[in-house]
Amino acid sequence: MRRRGVVLFLGSAVLVRSMDAGAGVGLVLLCTDRVSHDPVRVAGLLAAALTALHVTGPLSAPLLGRVRDRRWVVSMAGLVASAGVALGTVVVGSWPMAAAVVPWAVAGACGPMLTGGLSSLLPSGVGDGRRSRALDALTYGASATVAPALVALLATTWSSAAALWALAGCGALGSAGVLVLPRAPAASSEEQPVTSRQVAAHLWREPRLRTVVALTWVGALTVSAALLTGTALARRQGSAEAGWVVSAFGLGGLAAGLGLAVRPLRARPDAGMVLVTGVLGAVLAGCAVVGADAPFLAAGFGALGGVLAVHTLLSLSARGELSPPHLAGPVFVAVGGAKVAFSSAGTALAGFAAAWGGQRVLAGLGVVTVLSALGIAPGALRRAGFSRPARPGAVARAPR
C-alpha cells in the first residue's frame, strides 16, 4: 500500500508541477500571438505575477500545521492554480493589463503548495527515506523537461492557448489525484496552532537546517540566473543551440535523479549541501570558460542539472529530517515558496547584468556560489560529517 502511495504521489506531482513549470513558457508564446504592442514586456509582467507571488509561501505555510488533512489544502491550491491559468489564458489580449494580472497572480500565490506543500505529502516508509526524496526531486526534473516540450508541441500543432489549457488540465488532474494519497494529518503535538513565527524560529534555531536553507536559496538564485545567461550565450549561435542547452540541463537533472533513486545519497544534509554547493559553483565557473562553444556549454549545463538534482535532494531531505512532525509541512512550503522567489530574483538579476557579457556573468555566479559554500563550511563540517540519515523528526527532537 505504501508503494502504491508513492506511485500515486509521483504521478500527481509530475502533473501538477508540469503546470507550474510550463506556464511561464506558454505565457510568453501566448503574448506573442495575442498582444500587438510590446508583447515581451507584457509577458514579463504576467510571468512576474506568476512567479513572484511564491514569496507568500511563509504566510500560507502554517495552514498545513492546522488542518486535519493536509491533502485537501494542497489539492484545493492546485485546483485554484489550474483555474487561474485557464482564466488567465482567456483574458490575455482581451482584458486590460491590470485585470489580466489577477488570475496569474492568484495562480502564483498557490505555487508554494504545489512545490513544498506537495513534497510534505510524500508517503514515507518505502525503503530508504532518501530514496523517496530522490523520487520527489526527480519529479521536478521531469516536469521541467517535459512541460516546455509539451507546450512547444501543442503551440506548434494547435495554439499557444491550447497548450496552456492542457497544462491547466494536467494541474487539475494531478490535484484531484492528491486526494487519493494516504491521509496526511497535521500531526501537531501542541494545543496551539502552528504560526509563521514558529516556522521562522525553527528555521533559525536549528543550525543544520539553517545551513541547508541558506544554500538552497543561494543555489536557486545563481542557477536560475545561469540558465538565462547560458541560453542567451548559446542563442547567439542559433536557436537550436539554445534549445540544446536547456534540454541538456533538464536531461542532466533527470539522469542524476534516477541515479539517486537507485542508489540514495548517504551524506548528512548540512555537510553534503556545503560540498555540493561548492561543486555547483565550480561547474558554473567551468561553463564560463567554455561559454563560446555551444556543445561544451550544453555539456556544462548537463552537469549543472545533475549537480542541482543532488542539491535539491539534500534540501528536501533536510526539511523532513531536521523538522519535528508538526512543523515539517509548513517548513516545506515556506522554504519552497521562498526558493521560487529567489529563482525569480536570479532571472531578473541576470537580465540586468546581461550587458556585462555572458561569460563574465557565469564566472561571477560561480564565484558567489563557491564563496557562499566556503563561508558556511567551517561550522557545517564541524557539526556533521557523512553518515546515514536520521529518521524523519528524530534529529530535531534530539538534545542539542
Domains observed in the chain: 1-186 (1.20.1250.20), 194-400 (1.20.1250.20)
Q: What is the mean pLDDT of residues 10-18?
A: 91
pLDDT for 19 beyond 80: yes
pLDDT at 62: 74
Looking at every residue in the chain, the average pLDDT score rounds to 81
pLDDT for 396 beyond 50: no
Most confident among 28-37, 82-91, 327-336, 384-393 (mean pLDDT) = 82-91
Task: Compute φ and ψ for 267, nearest 5 degrees.
Answer: -70, 145
Beta-bridge mates of residue 386: 267
pLDDT for 280 beyond 90: yes
Query: Which of the four pLDDT bands, split at 50, 70 and 90, describes residue 27?
Result: confident
**In the chain, alpha helices (H):** 2-34, 39-52, 57-60, 70-91, 97-109, 111-112, 118-119, 129-157, 160-178, 196-205, 207-235, 239-262, 269-289, 294-321, 325-352, 358-383, 394-397
Q: How far apart are CA 129 and CA 250, in angstroms?
A: 24
- Grid cell for residue 23: 506556464
Residue type, 297: L
**What is the CA angle 318-225-97, rounded to 5?**
105
Measured in whole angstroms, how far is the alpha carbon of residue 290 from the centre of its chain? Answer: 27
Note the pTM of the prediction, 2 decimals.
0.77
DSSP 354: G
Q: How far apart are CA 384 and CA 386, in angstroms?
A: 7
pLDDT at 141: 79
Question: Do the Cβ atoms of 82 and 196 come closer than 8 Å?
Answer: no
Which among 287, 294, 278, 139 has a CA at the least distance from the CA of 218?
A: 278
- Grid cell for residue 310: 543532488
Q: Please enumerate in sequence order all residues whose Cβ is within 8 A of that of 300, keeping only pairs 6 or more positions apart, or say none.
A: 230, 283, 286, 287, 290
Query: Which of the four pLDDT bands, split at 50, 70 and 90, describes residue 381?
Result: low
More confident residue, 343 or 170: 170
More confident residue, 390 or 397: 390
More confident residue, 56 or 174: 174
The number of beta carbons lying within 10 Å of the beta carbon of residue 39 is: 18
pLDDT single digits (tens) 202-255: 888 888 899 999 999 999 999 988 887 887 787 666 555 666 787 788 888 888
- Grid cell for residue 203: 528555521
- The owner of cell 501537531 is 188
pLDDT at 319: 86
More confident residue, 351 or 119: 119
Q: What is the mean pLDDT of residues 335-350?
A: 82
- The owner of cell 516545506 is 332
Task: Compute φ and ψ for 237, nearest 5 degrees.
Answer: -100, 0
pLDDT for 2 beyond 70: no
More confident residue, 172 or 116: 172
Query: Which of the four pLDDT bands, split at 50, 70 and 90, describes residue 176?
Result: very high
DSSP-derived 3-state class of residue 200 = helix
